[in-house]
């Protein structure tokens, strides 16, 4: 669409606040006045409260559960255990990854803080007292924490329920703690390259277990109406429609009798994709007791038991020519999935899109293999602010490229430029089979290097390195990453058999305002603002009068939800195409009203006008009224459309990030002096919101790279599950961010948009590591394990002999 | 451990309720007074989502007993706007895109409101230090800093006009 | 996270509080700022049957001068330490250090007395009090007694305060001229306890250190006074060598616990770093 | 969470008397602050409970004690104690305790090597304090142990009369009533000061 230049047209266009407008957010009015409606804000008459008895041990047999003391506490109504759920066959539930997970521990516990019993009481204080009064006796079992020991012949048997099962959801299981082995690429071709390449290197790259930790914890209010046989559940879910399907499958209630509502969500970041035992128990309790039941996790429960992310132990190998052209890539991953395989990936991809690990580079031969194992840790493995396992993939390739540059004595920008998929190669099919839609990496890299005076930085660094009295070490980090988002083409991607399309329904009201309903759900991304902008530009209706509704399965069309940066690539496309259906009908109506043929009309911002006669036109407002008042003969009245969009491909946003750090040689503290993030997400819908998303993603990336970890001791105790220890940076620690962009639209997306919110997280983490390691590069250090806390970095200072 | 009476002024109105002594202020506000603006994020006084104003001081209401508010004046985010007129901090958060999911926002607003009375003309560094008891997972803080700066400028202008 | 039930008492005077403490016995706990006790109760580590809230006792708040001594009420909050003109002029270490404790909201509630009496090795005021040569005034059923900060802290959560006593005042001699001070605290983030911290008070007369107090936070079961480190400075001009020597002597007495902040080696090394930095800063402030 | 502790507590009683206490599991348990044997199952198995109070925090464990070995020649007791609180948080201690003769007559040394494992919320939230608290518990244990040993009648035949005579009169033989046993580890500051005072002089740091 060409931008108009006529001031009058510009004015009309601006009034729409459509694509490209930094429109202020529609949702803010309620949030800034304390009128948000989060799950814990919901109250219902007669509502009861549920709290959960959890295992203090990581692996143990349950010898006895004594409810009697708890039931004596005033206000306690019921205590449920696995034995109570057994007759309903609800003590286990299916996971999204084809495994089963205990709803309440069935005879044994598999991880610390596993759900053992629930207490339902009249208020949350009594419920908490009840939890403390439930007596559980355990018999301790040997604990398996180190995934490297999971497949030893004498490793403890974790999943007794799987005894004798040699076939899992993703193929053969060859050990009692083995979940799956999955691979991609051409092993023979990669092996051949490695056998003959002039340069090869191998590095173990560990991506620690972290937690998405949204500020709002998980919870729900389940309300079953025994008279109508209807279940309404308000829930912290990034995918309410999927929840409805699962609840229907579990409970036997028809989907038509189930209404799942995701109200305002206080951040998700992948943590709110899964279906947790707490939800199931609250629903069961509501059905059993015939009253609404609320369950809200506390922070410790959130970090300890609901979905973690990462925990990938990666062995990466790269083969190259002596002058730095990459010839081949091999990655072997040991994936710690915890006690139940509850990863939220598309069904066919137990390691998600990890095979994007060839990155932004033209690599002729590549192979990766991922082995998932059980350990005595909480289940999860979600995409924490990234598409499925893309963060891990980007991390491994960016680290390997850095290490290769170092080995060859090349500059890390130079080696990247040398290996980029070139602009003219798009669409580009990678050795793993992904078809990259569009990109222009070199232009973006040049822009960043210039903006940051990369040469100057290198000169400054050389000077600092020459000064033995310098109190700090200076490091320069670089990452040039490509993401794969927008799952996905349903020929490849499904969740529980449901294709990963998304949907939109738009209704234009007679007076020209509109409502759009979506299968996604915002958790802070500002859908209510940005979706309207797409419609505004497509249909010439001001954003201000377009209402966007999401999250209520009774009103919204079926959608797979918001995660993996899929809202704009998938739902955003559904909106544009639904709008285009309306546009086509509007054209018919306009032609009828103006008494000309459809082909005699031109579309201009907000109206159809007769070609060559500016005075003869009908605005969308006129057309809307007419749609309900005098539709053309043979055309049904009304003006609305539904579109289910099944994308032909993923989208491939990319970015170039540069970071400068100064490391205190005394304490190991790392100060981020500069962070420059250039993102290319294709067409930009709302630059203000994009920038906000990037700030947030960078900050979460900073948290992961510099401090987040979930340390377990040998007994399986999770140490550090409060916000005292789990690193969420405050105003003071968070660096200042500089943002920039290029625009390379996706050729297959209706408006050319690619999705953005996760890029900064995915891209920044390897950038930080690159910068920290770079500070030590002149001392021969190739790689350092995250998180780069002061303590860890100090150990490196010490090992390298440069600690003060 | 029977209930005890607590009387306070909440957003300008007198409130009197009987509560269990252990009732935390944040639960009292949310459950007993139906003011759900203050949120519960960490429960260990680290995140600040529950911040309210008690007698002119910012307090984390998850680590404060309702009974400790006997005779106090408590202001929550619901009491920040004057009728339909938003307070400058509310306007600043809106104008500068200082929020995303909105969960931390009431606490941020209440802290910013008080902070700007403690320091009407703060530097960026002072804003970052003064707001450091509030966590946000979405924004990366940069726009919140701008929002506070916006509010500071606006408040100073209003003062000038008044003077 | 819900605390267990308890009865709540809000006495208006120290005498009433002591009476309550005596009559309710060991099942009663004193509530000051609450930012240590309430989380412990929410985790159900602590289950007192009674809470005696000291926040209503006006006599326990405030900062005043008594001759050459500064007297700080035990219930004075961190924020008031930071804002006190008197302290800024006479004991600048206190506002300087208080600014590094927790966060603004917590500093509005957290009290100097609570921080001292709790006996957590991670708390900051114990080391600060030691460096300031503070004296604590404890009041019990038998009246008041005064104890020096140095020696008051006896172990994790253990102090010289009896169960029937209340800490009512902290008395600190005002800095003599030419005294400088600093509190250097390494932490992972705002709101965290110190990985290591050092409080230093120095006086330099005629180019020579005439008074030195060095105390350490979170480097042993209690705050530590680094007597040998002080001795390493006394009577000498400050130089890189003497500072290093003092830091080494401070490190020698550290006995920190391993935790997520770091292991013994790191924390001990950081004690050295913090001592060096605090000495340098304090020296620069000796005027 | 696992902590290994190695402790040496000098005792101002002779090794024979100290061993009399150590070989009696019930007596040993009584020395543990807050601990009590509630039932003897058989010769080597007991049931017991421990209440620990550290500052404002409380914990109550109930569990089993098994005597793994009792070596009269080396004066070594080996036992395994395991307990859990109501919620199932658990603690166990594998202890080898030996009485060694002291440097001077009439004295001995109680040597303890223990592996302590704690699970559940105490490990999760109390981790940073665990060594310190264990140290405190064991120091109080040693003090109680010392008192219990001192309360036994003195040796009928002095092992080394000459040495005994040369020892300060009040050292070993004075059968003064033992100080009251500390039943719970708590903020009894004076007791702690005593322990800490002479303890600090003898040992610098934790083993």
DSSP-assigned states of every residue in A14-79 = HHHT-TT--PPPTTHHHHTTT---BGGG---TT-EEEEEEE-SSSSEEEEEEE-HHHHHSTTEEEE
- A630 and A682 share one domain: no
Residue C157 sits in a domain whose CATH number is: 3.30.465.10
**Count of domains for chain A:** 3
Physical contact, B and A (3 or more Cβ pairs within 8 A): yes
Is residue A458 included in any domain, yes or no? yes
Residue D31 sits in a domain whose CATH number is: 3.30.530.20
Could you give the CA distance from residue A389 to residue A351 in angstroms, rounded to a whole number? 6
Judging contacts by C-beta atoms under 8 Å, the chain C residues touching residue A793 are none
Could you give the CA distance from residue C71 to residue C54 in angstroms, rounded to a whole number? 18
Residue stretches of chain A with pLDDT short of 50: 1
- A512 and A471 share one domain: no
Whether residue B45 and residue C4 make contact (CB cut-off 8 A), yes or no, is: no
Is residue D146 included in any domain, yes or no? yes
pLDDT digit string, tens, across residues B86-139: 999 999 999 999 999 999 999 999 999 999 999 999 999 999 999 999 999 999
ipTM of predicted assembly, 2 dp: 0.94
Partner residue facing D117 (CB), from A53, A134, A715: A715
Q: Which of A386, A452, A504, A659 is catalytic?
A: A386
For residue C18, give its domain range. 7-53
Judging contacts by C-beta atoms under 8 Å, the chain A residues touching residue C193 are 724
Is residue C209 included in any domain, yes or no? yes
A84 CB-side CA count, 13 A: 15
Say whether pLDDT at D177 is over 70: no
Residue A46 sits in a domain whose CATH number is: 3.90.1170.50
Whether residue B111 and residue C79 make contact (CB cut-off 8 A), yes or no, is: no
Q: Which of A17, A238, A525, A693 is catalytic?
A: A238
Q: Using a CB–CB cutoff of 8 Å, tell me whether A657 touches chain C.
A: no
Whether residue D1 and residue A713 make contact (CB cut-off 8 A), yes or no, is: yes
Write the DSSP symbol of residue A340: S
Whether residue A298 and residue B141 make contact (CB cut-off 8 A), yes or no, is: no
Whether residue C188 and residue A707 make contact (CB cut-off 8 A), yes or no, is: yes
Give the residue from A118, A142, A131 showing the smallest Cα distance to A61.
Answer: A142
Judging contacts by C-beta atoms under 8 Å, the chain D residues touching residue A57 are 88, 90, 119-120
Instruction: Tell me if residue A385 is catalytic.
Output: yes
Give the residue from A768, A793, A766 showing the smallest Cα distance to A781.
Answer: A793
Interface of B with A in 24-53 (CB under 8 A): 27, 30-31, 34-44, 46-47, 49
Single residue among C151, C172, C193 that ends a domain in this structure: C172
- Which pLDDT does position A509 carry in this prediction? 98
Could you give the CA distance from residue D13 to residue C264 in angstroms, rounded to a whole number? 35
N-to-C CA span, chain B: 53
User: Strand A199-210 to strand A308-320: parallel, antiparallel, or no bridges (unpaired)?
Assistant: antiparallel
Could you give the CA distance from residue D26 to residue D182 in angstroms, rounded to a whole number? 16
Compute the average pLDDT of residues D184-201: 38
Compute the average pLDDT of residues D13-33: 89
- Which pLDDT does position A2 carry in this prediction? 55
Could you give the CA distance from residue C247 to residue C229 in angstroms, rounded to a whole number? 7
For residue D12, give its domain range. 2-202
Instruction: Tell me if residue A493 is catalytic.
Output: no
Instruction: Tell me if residue A25 is catalytic.
Output: no
Q: Which of A538, A758, A792, A796 is catalytic?
A: A758
Classify the C-alpha dihedral D184-D187-D189-D194 as positive or negative: positive
Give the residue from C238, C10, A729 showing the smallest Cα distance to B46.
Answer: A729
The residue assigned the tokens 């999204």 is A96
Physical contact, C and B (3 or more Cβ pairs within 8 A): yes
- A105 and A235 share one domain: yes
Counted across chains C and D, CB pairs separated by less than 8 A come out at 73
Cβ(A522)–Cβ(A550) below 8 Å: yes
Burial of residue D89 (number of CB atoms within 10 Å: 0-12, 13-18, 19+): buried
Is residue D207 included in any domain, yes or no? no
Partner residue facing D192 (CB), from C158, C163, C259: C158
- C279 and C193 share one domain: yes
User: What are the start-end ranges of the H helices in A757-789?
Assistant: 759-777
- A441 and A477 share one domain: yes
Average pLDDT in chain B: 97
For residue B25, give its domain range. 4-79
The DSSP annotation for A240-271 comes to: HHHHHHHHHHHH---GGGEEEE--B-S--TTT
Physical contact, D and B (3 or more Cβ pairs within 8 A): no
pLDDT digit string, tens, across residues A301-359: 999 999 999 999 999 999 999 999 999 999 999 999 999 999 989 999 999 999 999 99
Calculate what percentage of chain D has a pLDDT beyond 90: 32
D36 bridge partner residues: D49
Residue A604 sits in a domain whose CATH number is: 3.30.365.10
A739 bridge partner residues: A677
Whether residue D124 and residue A718 make contact (CB cut-off 8 A), yes or no, is: yes
- B75 and B96 share one domain: no
**Count of domains for chain C:** 3
Contacting subunits of C (3+ beta carbon pairs below 8 A): A, B, D
Confidence of residue B39 (pLDDT cuts 50, 70, 90): very high
User: Strand A100-102 to strand C28-31: parallel, antiparallel, or no bridges (unpaired)?
Assistant: unpaired
CB under 8 Å to D180, separation ≥6 — which residues? none
Whether residue A57 and residue D117 make contact (CB cut-off 8 A), yes or no, is: no
- Which pLDDT does position D154 carry in this prediction? 66
Interface of A with C in 659-688 (CB under 8 A): 666-669
- Which pLDDT does position A4 carry in this prediction? 66
- Which pLDDT does position A76 carry in this prediction? 98
Count of other CB atoms within 10 angstroms of residue A270: 26
Is residue A122 included in any domain, yes or no? yes
**Count of domains for chain D:** 1
The DSSP annotation for chain D comes to: -EEEEEEEEEESS-HHHHHHHHT-HHHHHHHSTTEEEEEE-SSSEEEEEEEEEETTEEEEEEEEEEEEEEETTTTEEEEEEEEE-TT--EEEEEEEEEEEE-SSTT-EEEEEEEEEEEESHHHHHHGGGHHHHHHHHHHHHHHHHHHHHHHSPPPSS-SSHHHHHHS-TTSSS--PPPPPP--SB---HHHHHHHHHHHHHH-SS--
Partner residue facing A719 (CB), from D86, D117, D127: D127
Could you give the CA distance from residue A160 to residue A340 in angstroms, rounded to a whole number? 12
Is residue D165 included in any domain, yes or no? yes
- B104 and B140 share one domain: yes
Counted across chains A and D, CB pairs separated by less than 8 A come out at 57
Find the closest chain A residue to D123 by CA distance: A717
Partner residue facing C155 (CB), from D58, D126, D192: D192
- A409 and A549 share one domain: no
- A478 and A609 share one domain: no
Judging contacts by C-beta atoms under 8 Å, the chain A residues touching residue B20 are 125
User: What are the start-end ranges of the H helices in chain C?
Assistant: 14-24, 37-42, 78-83, 85-90, 93-98, 104-109, 112-118, 125-131, 227-233, 240-252, 264-284
Cβ(C88)–Cβ(C95) below 8 Å: yes
Single residue among A621, A645, A669 that ends a domain in this structure: A645
Cβ(A516)–Cβ(A533) below 8 Å: no
Classify the C-alpha dihedral A446-A448-A452-A457 as positive or negative: negative
Partner residue facing C46 (CB), from D57, D186, D196: D57
pLDDT digit string, tens, across residues A229-244: 999 999 999 999 999 9
Residue from C157, C164, C228, C252 to probe the interface with D (highest D Cβ count within 10 Å): C157
Is residue A395 included in any domain, yes or no? yes
Say whether pLDDT at D159 is over 90: no
Compute the average pLDDT of residues D37-61: 88
Classify the C-alpha dihedral D194-D197-D200-D201 as positive or negative: negative
Is residue C58 included in any domain, yes or no? no
Say whether pLDDT at D165 is over 90: no
Could you give the CA distance from residue D135 to residue A173 in angstroms, rounded to a whole number? 47
- Which pLDDT does position C2 carry in this prediction? 96
- Which pLDDT does position C175 carry in this prediction? 97
Confidence of residue D164 (pLDDT cuts 50, 70, 90): very low
Average pLDDT in chain A: 96
For residue A59, give its domain range. 39-141+217-265+272-305
Contacting subunits of B (3+ beta carbon pairs below 8 A): A, C
Residue B129 sits in a domain whose CATH number is: 1.10.150.120
Q: pLDDT (tens digit, 0 to 9) for every residue of chain C, 287 residues total?
A: 999 999 999 999 999 999 999 999 889 999 999 999 999 999 998 999 999 999 999 999 999 999 999 999 999 999 999 999 999 999 999 999 999 999 999 999 999 999 999 989 999 999 999 999 999 999 999 999 999 999 999 988 889 999 999 999 999 999 999 999 999 999 999 999 999 999 999 999 999 999 999 999 999 999 999 999 999 999 999 999 999 999 999 999 999 999 999 999 999 999 999 999 999 999 999 97
* Token representation of residue A575: 């909106």
- Which pLDDT does position D203 carry in this prediction? 35
Partner residue facing C186 (CB), from A298, A667, A730: A667
- B106 and B55 share one domain: no
Write the DSSP symbol of residue C109: H
- A237 and A124 share one domain: yes
Is residue C249 included in any domain, yes or no? yes
Q: Report helix, strand or coil for C103.
A: coil
Q: Report helix, strand or coil for B87.
A: coil
Single residue among A645, A660, A695 that ends a domain in this structure: A645
Q: Report helix, strand or coil for A633.
A: coil
Is residue C2 included in any domain, yes or no? no
Could you give the CA distance from residue C256 to residue A553 in angstroms, rounded to a whole number? 55
pLDDT digit string, tens, across residues A52-76: 999 999 999 999 999 999 999 999 9
């Amino acid at each position: 669409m060409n931008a108009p230049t006529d001031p009058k047209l510009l004015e009309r266009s601006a009034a729409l606040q459509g694509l490209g407008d930094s429109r202020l957010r529609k949702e803010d009015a309620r949030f800034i006045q304390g009128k948000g409606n989060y799950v814990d804000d919901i109250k219902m008459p007669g509502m009861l409260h549920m709290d959960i008895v959890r295992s203090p041990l990581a692996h143990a047999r349950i010898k006895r559960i004594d409810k009697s003391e708890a039931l004596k506490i005033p206000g306690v109504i019921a205590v449920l255990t696995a034995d109570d759920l057994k007759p309903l066959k609800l003590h286990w539930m299916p996971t999204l990854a084809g495994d089963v997970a205990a709803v309440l521990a069935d005879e044994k516990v598999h991880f610390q803080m596993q759900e053992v019993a629930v207490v339902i009481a009249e208020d949350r204080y009594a419920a908490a007292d009840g939890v403390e009064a439930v007596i559980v006796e355990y018999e301790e079992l040997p604990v398996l924490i180190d995934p490297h020991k999971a497949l030893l012949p004498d490793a403890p048997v974790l999943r007794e329920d799987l005894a004798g099962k040699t076939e899992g959801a993703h193929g053969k299981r060859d050990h009692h703690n083995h979940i799956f082995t999955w691979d991609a690429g051409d092993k023979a071709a990669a092996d051949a390259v490695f056998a003959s390449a002039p340069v090869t290197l191998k590095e173990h790259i560990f991506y620690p277990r972290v937690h998405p930790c949204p500020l709002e914890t998980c919870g729900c209010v389940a309300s079953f109406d025994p008279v109508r046989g209807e279940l309404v559940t308000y829930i912290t879910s990034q995918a309410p429609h999927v929840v409805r399907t699962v609840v229907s499958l579990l409970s036997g209630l028809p989907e038509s009798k189930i209404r799942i509502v995701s109200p305002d969500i206080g951040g998700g970041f992948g943590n709110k994709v899964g279906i947790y035992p707490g939800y199931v128990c609250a629903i069961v309790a509501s059905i059993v007791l015939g009253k609404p039941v609320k369950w809200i996790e506390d922070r410790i429960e959130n970090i300890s038991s609901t979905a973690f992310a990462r925990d990938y132990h990666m062995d990466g190998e790269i083969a190259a020519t002596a002058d730095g052209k990459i010839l081949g890539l091999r990655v072997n991953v040991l994936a710690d999935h915890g006690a139940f395989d509850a990863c939220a990936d598309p069904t066919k991809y137990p390691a998600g899109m990890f095979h994007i690990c060839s990155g932004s580079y033209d690599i002729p031969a590549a192979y990766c293999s991922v082995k998932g194992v059980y350990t005595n840790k909480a289940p999860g493995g979600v995409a924490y602010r990234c598409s499925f396992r893309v963060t891990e993939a980007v991390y491994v390739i960016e680290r390997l490229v850095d290490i290769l540059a170092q080995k060859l004595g090349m500059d890390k920008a130079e080696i990247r430029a040398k290996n980029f998929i070139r602009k003219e190669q798009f669409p580009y099919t990678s050795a793993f089979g992904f078809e990259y839609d569009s990109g222009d990496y070199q232009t973006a890299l040049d822009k960043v290097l210039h903006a940051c005076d990369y040469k100057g930085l290198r000169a400054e660094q050389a000077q600092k390195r020459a000064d033995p009295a310098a109190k700090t070490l200076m490091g320069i980090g670089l990452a040039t990453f490509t993401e794969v988002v927008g799952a996905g083409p349903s020929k490849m991607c499904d969740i529980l058999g449901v294709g990963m399309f998304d949907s939109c329904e738009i209704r234009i009201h007679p007076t020209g305002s509109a409502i759009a309903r979506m299968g996604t759900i915002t958790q802070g991304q500002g859908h209510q603002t940005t979706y309207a902008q797409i419609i505004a530009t497509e249909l010439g209706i001001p954003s201000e009068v377009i209402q966007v509704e999401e999250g209520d399965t009774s009103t919204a069309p079926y959608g797979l939800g918001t995660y993996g940066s899929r809202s704009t690539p998938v739902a955003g496309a559904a909106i544009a195409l639904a709008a285009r259906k309306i546009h086509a009908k509007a054209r018919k109506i306009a032609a009828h009203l103006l008494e000309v043929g459809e082909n005699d009309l031109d579309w201009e911002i907000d109206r159809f006008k007769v070609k060559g006669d500016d005075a003869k036109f009908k605005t969308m407002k006129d057309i809307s009224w007419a749609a309900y008042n005098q539709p053309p003969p043979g055309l049904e009245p009304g003006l609305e459309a539904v579109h289910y969009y099944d994308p032909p491909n993923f989208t491939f946003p990319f970015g170039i990030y540069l970071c400068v750090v100064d490391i205190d040689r005394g304490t190991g503290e790392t100060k981020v002096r500069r962070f420059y993030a250039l993102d290319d997400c294709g067409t930009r819908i709302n630059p203000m919101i994009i920038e906000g998303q990037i700030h947030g993603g960078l900050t979460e990336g900073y948290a992961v790279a510099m401090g987040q970890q979930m340390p377990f001791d040998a007994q399986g105790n999770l140490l550090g599950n409060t916000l005292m220890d789990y690193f969420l940076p405050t105003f003071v620690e968070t660096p200042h961010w500089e943002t920039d962009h290029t625009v390379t639209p996706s050729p297959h997306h209706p408006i050319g948009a690619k999705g953005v919110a996760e890029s900064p997280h995915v891209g920044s983490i390897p950038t930080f590591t690159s910068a920290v390691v770079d500070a030590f590069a002149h001392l021969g250090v190739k790689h350092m394990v995250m998180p780069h806390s002061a303590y860890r970095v100090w150990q490196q200072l010490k090992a390298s002999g440069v600690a003060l | 451990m029977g209930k005890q009476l607590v009387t306070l002024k909440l957003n300008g109105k007198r409130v009197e309720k009987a509560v269990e002594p252990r009732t935390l202020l944040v639960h009292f506000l949310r459950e007993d007074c139906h003011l759900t603006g203050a949120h519960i994020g960490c429960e260990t006084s680290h995140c600040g989502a529950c911040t309210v104003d008690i007698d002119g001081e910012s307090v984390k209401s998850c680590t404060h007993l309702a009974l400790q508010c006997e005779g106090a004046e408590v202001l929550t985010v619901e009491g920040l706007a004057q009728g339909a007129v938003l307070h400058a901090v509310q306007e600043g958060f809106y104008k500068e895109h200082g929020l995303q999911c909105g969960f931390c926002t009431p606490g941020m607003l209440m802290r910013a409101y008080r902070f700007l009375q403690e320091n009407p003309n703060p530097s960026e560094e002072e804003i970052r230090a003064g707001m450091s008891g509030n966590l946000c997972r979405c924004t990366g803080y940069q726009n919140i800093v701008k929002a506070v700066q916006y509010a500071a400028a606006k408040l100073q202008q209003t003062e000038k006009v008044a003077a | 996270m819900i605390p267990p039930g308890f009865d709540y008492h809000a006495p208006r005077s120290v005498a009433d509080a002591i009476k309550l403490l005596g009559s309710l016995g060991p099942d009663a706990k004193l509530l000051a700022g609450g930012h240590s006790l309430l989380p412990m109760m929410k985790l159900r580590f602590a289950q007192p049957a009674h809470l005696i809230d000291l926040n209503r006792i006006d006599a326990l708040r405030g900062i005043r001068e008594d001759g050459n001594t500064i007297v700080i009420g035990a219930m004075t909050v961190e924020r008031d330490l930071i804002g006190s003109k008197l302290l800024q002029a006479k004991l600048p270490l206190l506002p300087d250090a208080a600014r590094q404790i927790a966060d603004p909201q917590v500093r509005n509630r957290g009290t100097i007395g609570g921080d001292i009496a709790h006996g957590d090795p991670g708390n900051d005021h114990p080391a600060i009090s030691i460096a300031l040569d503070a004296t604590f005034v404890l009041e019990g059923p038998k009246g008041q007694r005064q104890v020096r900060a140095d020696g008051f802290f006896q172990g994790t959560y253990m102090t010289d305060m009896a169960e029937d006593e209340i800490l009512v005042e902290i008395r600190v001699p005002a800095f003599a001229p030419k005294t400088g001070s600093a509190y250097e605290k390494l932490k992972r983030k705002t709101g965290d306890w110190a990985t290591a911290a050092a409080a230093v008070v120095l006086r330099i007369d005629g180019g020579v250190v005439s008074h030195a107090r060095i105390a350490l936070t979170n480097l042993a079961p209690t705050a530590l006074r680094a007597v040998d480190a002080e001795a390493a400075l006394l009577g000498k001009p400050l130089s890189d060598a003497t500072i290093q020597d003092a830091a080494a002597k401070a490190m020698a007495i550290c006995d920190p616990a391993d935790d997520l902040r770091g292991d013994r080696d790191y924390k001990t090394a950081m004690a050295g770093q913090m001592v060096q930095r605090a000495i340098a800063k304090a020296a620069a402030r000796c005027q | 969470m696992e902590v290994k502790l190695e402790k040496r507590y000098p005792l101002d009683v002779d090794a024979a008397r100290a061993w009399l206490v150590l070989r009696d599991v019930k007596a040993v348990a009584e020395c543990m602050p807050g601990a009590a044997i509630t039932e003897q199952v058989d010769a080597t198995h007991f049931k017991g409970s421990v209440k620990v109070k550290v500052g404002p925090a409380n914990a109550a464990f109930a569990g089993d004690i098994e005597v793994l070995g009792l070596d009269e020649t080396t004066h070594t007791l080996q036992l395994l104690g395991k307990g859990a609180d109501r919620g199932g948080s658990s603690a166990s201690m594998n202890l080898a305790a030996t009485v060694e003769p002291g440097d001077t007559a009439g004295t001995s040394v109680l040597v303890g090597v223990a592996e302590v494992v704690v699970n559940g919320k105490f490990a999760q939230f109390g981790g940073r304090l665990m060594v310190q608290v264990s140290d405190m518990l064991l120091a109080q244990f040693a003090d109680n142990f010392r008192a219990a040993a001192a309360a036994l009648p003195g040796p009928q035949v002095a092992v080394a009369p000459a040495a005994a005579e040369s020892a300060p009169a009040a050292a070993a033989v004075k059968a003064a009533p033992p100080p009251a046993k500390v039943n719970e580890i708590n903020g009894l500051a004076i007791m702690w000061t005593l322990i800490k005072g002479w303890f600090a002089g003898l040992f610098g740091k934790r083993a």
